[in-house]
Structure 1
Amino acid sequence: MSSPSVALLRGINVGGNNPVGMADLGDCFREAGYRDARTFSASGNVLFTADRARGPELEEALARMLEARFGIPILVVVRSRDEFAATIAAAPLDIGSASLRSEVFFLKHPLTAEAAFAELPELREGIDSIAPGPGALYFSRLAAQATKTRITRLMSMPLFQQMTVRSWRTSTRLLELLNAG
């Protein structure tokens, strides 16, 4: 059964580390038999159609494929179009507003939003807000006071190694691309 999906790769092309060309990344997926493979943004977003495994099995197969091709371990989080749409639909109403800087922290299986939420460090009240959702955490901070955020505490925790972050704008654009086919 075919399923339009998006692979969210963690830690490539960030601060000059783990450089991966988007054309080469798209080729890697196509050569492995994934249909309709195309990339969006240099941060490691690959839209594709999978005819095979899903969920954790697909994530692990893609991680092995990418490490073999690029020589670096890359955490892969995959969401089908329906899973991605459910994550976007469940977001807090104010996420993405002009007064906030908002991101979606996509969680790698088997990490759940409830388990991740339970381990969160104390954030700065009145500046930071975080909410659990399907396979994700939604994080926002007041744009005017973004330098006072405490989200860096989460980013220093081992738990963070099982997440990949996308801006709200990138996340909604990915959904548009998934819906366009």
Structure 2
Amino acid sequence: MHYIALLRAINVGGNSTVKMAELRALGESLGFTGVATLLQSGNLTFEAGEAAVPDLEQRWEQAVAESFGVPAAFMIRTASEWQALIAANPFRDEAEEDPAHVLALPSKGVIAGPAVASLRAVIQGRERIAAGERCLYAHYPDGIGRSKLTTKLIERHLGTSVTGRNWNTVLKLAE
């Protein structure tokens, strides 16, 4: 079974630094095969026998904490779940035009409708959001860097951890 794993808050702003070569080696030591990384921000693909995703997340999180001394939240999806995430993107036209400003934000838990409404109510700019299955989609037409729609704000309203990847990265992980 092919899996895609996203680490939250790894190698961002010089914090929680983990070398990708060491992360690949850790995955192999855990018995996973075909372990590959994409970019330096904690994107992994690997193969393993069929397993419950929460069990895989816990296994990776514990191993990273023990090996590197950094807390790491993993959001793992099967390859078919990742394809469904791509197909469900409500901002397809925007992703085609400007993929760097469309984000998929996979979550640890379920995203409830009332939480999305609460988040939508506090958006101060032109950003738009939509919820999928364990994923929030966001379009940042004016850019992400100065937006008030931050991961911290998103997590506070949704009540679950998320990690964002721009649409370019989402598609590269699918390859």
TM-score range, shorter chain: 0.7 to 0.9
How many pairs were matched up? 171
* Secondary structure at the counterpart of residue 84 of structure 2: helix
- Residue ranges of structure 1 left out of the alignment (5+ in a row): 177-181
Where does residue 163 of structure 1 map in the other structure? 162
Q: Could you tell me how far apart the structure 1 residues matched to 2:32 and 2:98 are? A: 39
* Secondary structure at the counterpart of residue 157 of structure 1: helix
Cα distance change, pair 156–52 in 1 and its aligned pair in 2 (3 A): closer
Between the aligned residues of both structures, percent identity stands at 32
Q: 1:126-176, CA deviations, whole angstroms, 9 ceiling, x for partnerless residues? A: x11101112201101213x66774313725737576111111110111011
**Aligned-pair CA distance for 1:117:** 1.6
**Aligned-pair CA distance for 1:83:** 0.4
**Aligned-pair CA distance for 1:11:** 0.6
| 1:91 is aligned to 2:92 | no
Greater displacement, 45-54 / 97-106? 97-106
| 1:138 is aligned to 2:137 | yes
Where does residue 104 of structure 1 map in the other structure? 104
TM-score by length of structure 2 reads 0.86
* 8 Å CA contact retained: 1:96, 1:102: yes
Q: Give the residue type in structure 2 aligned to 1:157.
A: R
Q: Out of 5, 8, 11, which is 2:6 matched to?
A: 8
Q: Give the residue type in structure 2 aligned to 1:135.
A: R
Alignment of 1:11-26 (within 5 A): 11-26=9-24
TM-score by length of structure 1 reads 0.84
* 8 Å CA contact retained: 1:105, 1:165: yes
Higher strand share: 1
Give me the CA root mean square deviation: 2.4
Q: Could you tell me how far apart the structure 2 residues matched to 1:76 and 1:123 are? A: 26
* 8 Å CA contact retained: 2:107, 2:160: no
Q: Could you tell me how far apart the structure 2 residues matched to 1:136 and 1:156 are? A: 12
* Secondary structure at the counterpart of residue 94 of structure 1: helix
